[in-house]
Amino acid sequence: MAVTVDDIRERIRQNVVDPEIGLNIVDLGLVYGIEVEDNRAEIDMTLTSPGCPAGPQIIYDVKNTVKRYFPELEAVNINIVWTPFWSPEMMSDWAKEELGIF
């Protein structure tokens, strides 16, 4: 069975939490895009700020989560992008509720 974008997104949602905020990075809006092609995953994501102290840990967690759940992938590449720059408006409604942002 082939690995899908939705499979990867859901595993990241379930397993990768921003340690400073305490919510998963998918609902925080940090994952911008996922592509799966030729047994390779490309994940475009951002951080809440360029100086995010949890950045290295989050990147490590994303890569290792995808590798752990989908060992058939030959490569998992994480691309940190800053365009568009992250803002709280990118969060899911659930995340906004959890943080009291309406």
Residues 43-72 have pLDDT tens digits of 999 999 999 999 999 999 999 999 999 999
Q: What angle do CA 71, 56, 6 make, to 5 degrees?
A: 40
Mean pLDDT of all residues belonging to the chain: 96
Instruction: Tell me the three state secondary structure of residue 22.
Output: coil
Q: Is 58 exposed, middle or buried, given 0-12, 13-18 or 19+ CB atoms closer than 10 A? A: buried
Stated as kind and residue range, the H or E segment containing 79 is: strand 75-80
Closest C-alpha among 90, 61, 72 to residue 4: 72
Rounded average pLDDT over 10-24: 97
What's the pTM? 0.94
Give me the domains of the chain, ranges plus CATH numbers: 5-99 (3.30.300.130)
